[in-house]
Amino acid sequence: MTLPLSAFLIVGAILFSLGAVGVLIRRNIIVVFLSVELMLQGAILNLGAFAVYNYDLAGYMLVLLTLTIAAAEAVVGLAILVALSRQISGFFVDRLQSLRG
C-alpha cells in the first residue's frame, strides 16, 4: 500500500506551518532556531515527495544537497548560539538588540 502524494504534501505543509508559527511567536533563540529547522524539514519533505512522484533523479540529488546544507546550517547556528551564550545572560531575541552595528 502506497500513500498518495497529497498525504506527504499535507504533512510537509503542516511541518512548515508549525515552524513558521514558532518563528513568529517564540522569543527564545533556541526555539526559533529549531522552528527554522522544522520549516526546512517540511520543505525538504515536499521536495522529496515531488521527486518520488515524478521519478526524478535530479530531485533526489537536490534533496540530498538540501539535507547537507541543513546539517551545515545547524552546525553554524549552534556555534553562533554558543558564542552568544557567553556574551548575554539569556537566550531571548530581545537581548540581541546590542548586536546591531
How do residues 9-61 score in pLDDT, each as one tens digit? Answer: 999 999 999 999 999 998 888 888 899 999 999 999 999 999 989 988 898 89
Residues of the domain holding 47: 5-95
Domain count, the chain: 1
**Does residue 101 lie within any of the structural domains?**
no
**Does residue 100 lie within any of the structural domains?**
no
Distance CA 77, CA 37 (A): 10
pTM above the 0.85 mark?
A: no
Contact 35, 26 (CB under 8 A): yes
Task: Report residue 30 as a C-alpha cell.
Answer: 533556541
CB under 8 A, 24+ apart: contacts of 73-79 = 73/37, 73/40, 74/37, 77/33, 77/36
**Does residue 16 lie within any of the structural domains?**
yes
CATH number at 45 reads 1.10.287.3510
**Does residue 84 lie within any of the structural domains?**
yes
- The strand pairing partners of 92, in sequence order, are 28
Contact 67, 1 (CB under 8 A): no
